[in-house]
Amino acid sequence: MHIGCPKEIKPQEFRVGLTPNAAHEAVVNGHKVSIETNAGLGAGFTDQDYINAGADIMGTASEIFATADMIVKVKEPQAVERKMLREGQILFTYLHLAPDEAQTRDLMASGCTAIAYETVTDRNGGLPLLAPMSEVAGRLAPQVGAWTLQKANGGRGVLLGGVPGVGPGKVLVIGGGVVGTHAAKIAAGMGADVTVLDRSLPRLRYLDDVFGGSFKNSYASAGNTIELAREADLIIGAVLIPGAAAPKLISRAQLAELKPGAALVDVAIDQGGCFETSKATTHHDPIYDVDGIMHYCVANMPGAVARTSTLALGNATMPFMLALANKGWRQACADDHHLLNGLNVHAGHLTYEAVGAALGIDVMDATAAMEI
């Protein structure tokens, strides 16, 4: 199969769909890999790295889209890229179609076979191609929170780890899933006094069993949340109710009860945010002040560490990319229903139920679509 990887063109996106290692694996499996020139630069990979891996370099995205059997990317195709997709071509990338009717209709019109990273599942009921980015965002959250807490950035001027004779800063993590657990691990590693809140008792049991010695956990009732928030220097929002907007767990009125200069890092901002006063920000202008409380609400946190994020995403996507290339998408999806769960569009049909429900578009069963 001919696998093509164009340079990402969404603003502030520095990741790349294929690492040199992933390209090399595809090449040793007998495939031809073409990378757009400078596609990997934002993540620290040169054209020569890809050439050394056995790939070839193409000058333009249009050459890649015109010739490749499968396009591997990171972000959803932008309008100009969607125009280049072809009937029968496989697209393997993040799509997030539910809030994006224009993209959904363009993908259907193209006749391509679009497999979305975010809906591929695993045997534990998890989302294996979303998890690496949650791990990155979670581990980044205490780092950006610590920076936000610095006096020059408007914060309280508290060092999370404290120093001998001065106690550590207090970190409250709301939501103990993938983001929350990784955030708590790093905050505890920085020496902070960390508490994680969750509403799932099985999750709290897990956190207690595995991390009981390094951070505390507590049930996320409204009363508990505000009580612990009053004491916190840094609050990290990491909740998720799948398919729903994030619940608002700290209201604007409650900001007055927090410590002046406390920092809120709302990782759940991509689902609308879990603090009433959260609004999405960018890496160029990441923080703002509401009533003396500093907010960090960057919606694409993994972009800040594009190299780590690219490597982590590549590790997760590689087995699926190789299965698609080695077997063809039909056989690969027939052999692995978790990969079939990633099928969102095929031959003009929408094949993912939740997207159809969100956009009011008729859905064809994914298994039936494989016969077309």
Ligand X SMILES: NC(=O)c1ccc[n+]([C@@H]2O[C@H](COP(=O)([O-])OP(=O)(O)OC[C@H]3O[C@@H](n4cnc5c(N)ncnc54)[C@H](O)[C@@H]3O)[C@@H](O)[C@H]2O)c1
Q: Is 267 in the site for ligand X (CB under 6 A)?
A: yes
Contacting residues for 183 by C-beta, under 8 A, at least 6 apart: 138, 139, 141, 142, 171, 173, 236, 238, 267
**Site pattern 96..135 for ligand X (x: CB under 6 A):** -------------------------------------xx-
Q: Is 187 in the site for ligand X (CB under 6 A)?
A: no
Of residues 66, 241, 357, 372, which one binds ligand X by CB under 6 A?
241
CB-based contact 65:5 (threshold 8 Å): no
Both tokens of 326, joined, read 């080695």
Of 125, 5, 110, nearest to 65 by C-alpha is: 5
Residue with Cβ nearer ligand X (26 or 240): 240
Kindly name the residue from 96, 208, 283, 338 that is annotated as catalytic: 96
CB-based contact 294:157 (threshold 8 Å): no
Among the candidate windows 77-85, 151-159, 244-252, 354-362, which touches ligand X by CB under 6 A? 244-252
Task: Report how far apart the first and last C-alpha atoms of the chain are (Å, whole number).
Answer: 20
- Annotated active-site residue 270? The verdict is yes
Both tokens of 317, joined, read 């996507």
Q: By rule CB under 6 A, what count of residues binds ligand X?
A: 32
Of residues 176, 286, 314, 356, which one binds ligand X by CB under 6 A?
176
Q: Is 203 in the site for ligand X (CB under 6 A)?
A: yes
The dihedral region occupied by 200, where left means phi > 0, alpha psi between -120 and 50, and beta the remainder, is beta
Among the candidate windows 59-67, 106-114, 187-195, 240-248, which touches ligand X by CB under 6 A? 240-248
Of residues 220, 234, 293, 321, which one binds ligand X by CB under 6 A?
220
- Annotated active-site residue 336? The verdict is no
Of residues 98, 144, 178, 184, which one binds ligand X by CB under 6 A?
178
**Closest residue by beta carbon to ligand X:** 177
| Residues forming beta bridges with residue 170, ordered by sequence position | 193
Q: Is 240 in the site for ligand X (CB under 6 A)?
A: yes
CB-based contact 158:187 (threshold 8 Å): no
β-strands 234-237, 287-290 pairing: unpaired
Helix (H, G, I), strand (E, B) or coil at 320: helix
Q: How far is the CB of 87 from ligand X (least distance, A)?
A: 32
**Site pattern 293..332 for ligand X (x: CB under 6 A):** ------xxxx------------------------------
Helix (H) or strand (E) holding 198: strand 193-198
CB-based contact 250:276 (threshold 8 Å): yes
CB-based contact 210:235 (threshold 8 Å): no
- Residue 35: φ, ψ to 5°: -115, 135
Q: Is 287 in the site for ligand X (CB under 6 A)?
A: no
Q: How far is the CB of 8 from ligand X (least distance, A)?
A: 16
Q: Is 268 in the site for ligand X (CB under 6 A)?
A: yes
List residues binding ligand X (CB under 6 A).
133-134, 137, 174-180, 197-200, 203, 220, 238-241, 246-247, 249, 267-271, 299-302
Catalytic residues: 96, 270
